[in-house]
Structure 1
Amino acid sequence: MTGSTGGAPPALDRELHHPTRLALAAYLSACGEAEFAVLRDYCEVSDSTLSKTLSALEKTGYVSIRKGYLGKRPRTWAALTLGGRRALARHLAALEEIAATARRAAGAGAQEPDTTGT
């Protein structure tokens, strides 16, 4: 598949391609930071899955993790970094380009003459 300029395909970010990672990044893009349990419930994943996902995004520099206490209870908060926000914006733009290319292709196909003779 080519981009709208006929060049290389849109650049999807491999680190954000997985649905849970993309959902986390999108959620975090709308807030300063979010507590672990809120993210877990939003993504409907286990503690283990969320922990691994956050660690992977932290390793790429897309998410920062802050640990602390709320009263005597330990808590973990996550925030999307500036690099994460930029990566998410590029990834979403690539998805939009893919969708636009598909719409154009569907529109072009609808206007082709019927050559089947029916």
Structure 2
Amino acid sequence: MKNDLLAQFNKAFESKARLGIMSVLVVNDSMSFNALKELLGLTDGNLATHLRALEESGYVAVQKQFIGRKPNTTYSATQPGQQAFTDHLSALEEFIRTM
């Protein structure tokens, strides 16, 4: 039974950083790179690496624009990303209940 629940865990969300990123993006329409970095206490490189992996999985969308002359990159959770994250959290909750 527990092995079945473990199989439902999504490997894309195994790291603390990715859990944090998705937690923030699921409850906000979008967040800037700098706001995510400050909120989660991650370095530029660490955050960029995790965001890229989530983007490649189709879980995060990237919007690049200029505000005045400054580049601004924002991120949002995609519908598949929101569903995958919800499913992952449900599997975690079920696993905890069976302990």
Task: Please classify the TM superposition score into its range, dividing by the shorter chain length.
Answer: over 0.9
User: Greater Rg, structure 1 or structure 2?
Assistant: 1
- Establish whether residue 84 from structure 1 lines up as the match of residue 81 from structure 2: yes
The one-letter amino acid paired with 2:42 is: V
Q: Which has the higher contact order (CA 8 A, sep 6+)?
A: 2
State the match for 1:41 in structure 2.
38
56, 59, 62: which is aligned to 1:59?
56
Could you state the TM-score of these two structures normalised by the residue count of structure 2? 0.94
Residue 8 of structure 1: CA displacement?
1.8
State the match for 1:16 in structure 2.
13
Runs of 4+ in 1 over 3 A off after TM superposition: none
Residue 98 of structure 1: CA displacement?
1.1
Residue 43 of structure 1: CA displacement?
1.1
RMSD in angstroms over aligned alpha carbons?
1.2
Counterpart-to-counterpart distance in 2, 1:81 and 1:37: 20
Structure 2 unaligned residues grouped into runs of 5+: none
- Establish whether residue 94 from structure 1 lines up as the match of residue 81 from structure 2: no
Structure 1 unaligned residues grouped into runs of 5+: 103-118
The one-letter amino acid paired with 1:46 is: T
Counterpart-to-counterpart distance in 1, 2:90 and 2:41: 26
Could you state the TM-score of these two structures normalised by the residue count of structure 1? 0.79
